[in-house]
């Protein structure tokens, strides 16, 4: 006789056999083996699934995290993680990392923007996100929160971070790890948008640093361009630059005074650091990199090329805003190549995140929708970059 499950419903669900969910729509593009990790129909009462992130535990064991949004909130909810042990072919039922129903004393928080990170040389996964009091309408005034997993993403232990920086922040990209004086040092790209609700607030991009992943201090700010109007620099990704010892950050952009507007022209901006992220050059336009107010993914491959994956078209909420995903490649010492198609199905897609599991061999996740609706499900795909 089968014994009844005495655990909470979510815990019982995690014991279920993973469900194969293949791509449910015809598409064009260079991504392959597309799967649907999770659909919002599996989360009754949610309004969206959004902002997915991906990390490799070891071998074919992958972990994807994403947000499950609360109706009535702009970008707040729970953060959950799903595990695949067969290189993304099937995905298990998600477990909760950060739960908005759990109170801390009398305060109830909601969470946004799942981020996963595996430090080199450690058998531990880290999850970061933003937490914001539930009485807020959106997460523009959040704190950084963390959790770790020692079993490949199947369970998570929350931790309180020691913050030398105590202001509001918004996190979208994982920390970047580099070595300094023989020990790892982590740089976390973040921004703030206190100007949304305060005319004397700011829209600044900055970097926090840590040697432990537990304690974070301010490393430096990204200066505004030396000429032209101010730019709302946000959602940057850090990786190695073109010159030896150089770090580069490529950022999403919007009009500084009115975040609903794009820059003119709609371009990504970048900055470089030659002292480990402590000081950065004034931000400047990347003439070849489109950005229409949507997160793009920037990184450097094992072969030394730079890769940029982004949304084409206009900004949301235009009818065709945040639909197709495109990409560009810049070989070492060369220029950005022609635009190519990553994923195009005539539906909404946004916020791609990639990891390189072998030289030139990538795995990717992004939030996806329908022709008329954003962020109804989370997709996974494989992508190979020709040498």
Task: Tell me the pLDDT of the chain (387 aa) as tens digits.
Answer: 433 333 333 333 333 333 445 668 899 999 999 999 999 999 999 999 999 999 999 999 999 999 999 999 989 999 999 999 999 999 999 999 999 999 988 999 999 999 999 999 999 999 999 999 999 888 888 999 999 999 999 999 999 999 999 999 999 999 999 999 999 999 999 999 999 989 899 999 999 999 999 999 999 999 999 999 999 999 999 999 999 999 999 999 999 999 999 999 999 999 999 999 999 999 999 999 999 999 999 999 999 999 999 999 999 989 889 999 999 999 999 999 999 999 999 999 999 999 999 999 999 999 999 999 999 999 999 999 976
Predicted pLDDT of residue 11: 38
Q: Which helix (H) or strand (E) holds 268?
A: strand 267-273
Whether the ω angle into residue 265 lies within 30 degrees of 0, i.e. cis, is: yes
pLDDT digits (tens, 9 = 90+) for 5-29: 333 333 333 333 334 456 688 999 9
Residues 171 and 137: beta-carbon distance below 8 Å: no
Whether the ω angle into residue 24 lies within 30 degrees of 0, i.e. cis, is: no
Q: How far apart are CA 176 and CA 188, in angstroms?
A: 6
Predicted pLDDT of residue 79: 98
3-state secondary structure 111-153: EEEEEEECCCCCCCEEEEEEEEECCCCCCCCEEEEEEEECCCC
Alpha helices in the chain (DSSP H): 9-13
Structural domain boundaries in the chain: 25-384
Q: How far apart are CA 311 and CA 313, in angstroms?
A: 7
Token pair in block for residue 239: 């990786």
What do you get for the CA distance between the two ends of the chain, in Å?
57
Q: Does domain 25-384 have CATH number 2.10.25.10?
A: no
Using CB atoms within 10 Å of the CB of residue 251, give its burial: 0 to 12 exposed, 13 to 18 middle, 19+ buried.
Answer: buried
The verdict on pTM exceeding 0.85 is yes
């Amino acid at each position: 006789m089968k014994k009844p499950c005495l655990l909470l419903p979510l815990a019982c669900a995690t014991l279920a056999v993973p469900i194969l969910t293949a791509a449910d729509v015809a598409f064009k593009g260079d991504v392959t083996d597309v799967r649907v990790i999770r659909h919002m129909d599996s989360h009754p009462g949610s309004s969206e699934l959004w902002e997915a992130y991906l990390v490799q535990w070891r071998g074919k064991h992958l972990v994807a995290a994403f947000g499950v949004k609360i109706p009535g909130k702009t970008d707040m909810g729970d953060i959950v993680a799903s595990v695949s042990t067969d290189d993304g072919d099937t995905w298990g039922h998600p477990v909760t990392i950060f739960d908005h129903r759990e109170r801390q004393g009398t305060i109830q928080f909601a969470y946004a923007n799942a981020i996963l990170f595996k430090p080199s040389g450690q058998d531990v996964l880290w999850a970061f996100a933003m937490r914001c009091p539930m009485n807020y309408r959106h997460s523009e005034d959040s704190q950084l929160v963390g959790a770790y997993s020692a079993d490949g993403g199947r369970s998570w232990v929350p931790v309180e971070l020691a913050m030398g920086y105590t202001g509001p922040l918004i996190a979208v990209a994982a920390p970047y790890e580099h070595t300094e004086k023989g020990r790892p040092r982590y740089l976390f790209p973040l921004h703030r948008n206190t100007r949304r609700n305060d005319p004397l607030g700011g829209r600044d991009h900055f970097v926090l640093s840590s040697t432990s992943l537990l304690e974070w201090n301010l490393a430096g700010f990204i200066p505004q361009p030396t000429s032209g109007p101010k730019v709302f620099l946000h959602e940057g990704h850090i990786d190695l630059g073109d010159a030896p010892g150089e770090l580069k950050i490529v950022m999403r952009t919007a009009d500084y005074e009115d975040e609903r507007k794009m820059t003119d022209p709609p371009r990504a901006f970048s900055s470089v650091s030659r002292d480990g992220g402590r000081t950065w050059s004034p931000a400047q336009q990347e003439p070849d990199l489109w950005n229409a107010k949507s997160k793009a993914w920037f990184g450097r491959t094992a072969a030394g090329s730079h890769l940029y994956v982004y949304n084409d078209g206009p900004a949301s909420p235009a009818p065709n805003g945040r639909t197709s995903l495109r990409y560009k490649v810049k070989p070492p010492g060369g220029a950005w190549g022609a635009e190519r198609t990553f994923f195009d199905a005539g539906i909404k897609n946004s916020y791609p995140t990639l990891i390189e599991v072998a030289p030139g061999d990538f795995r990717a996740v992004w939030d996806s929708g329908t022709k008329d609706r954003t962020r109804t499900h989370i997709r996974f795909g494989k992508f190979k970059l020709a040498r």
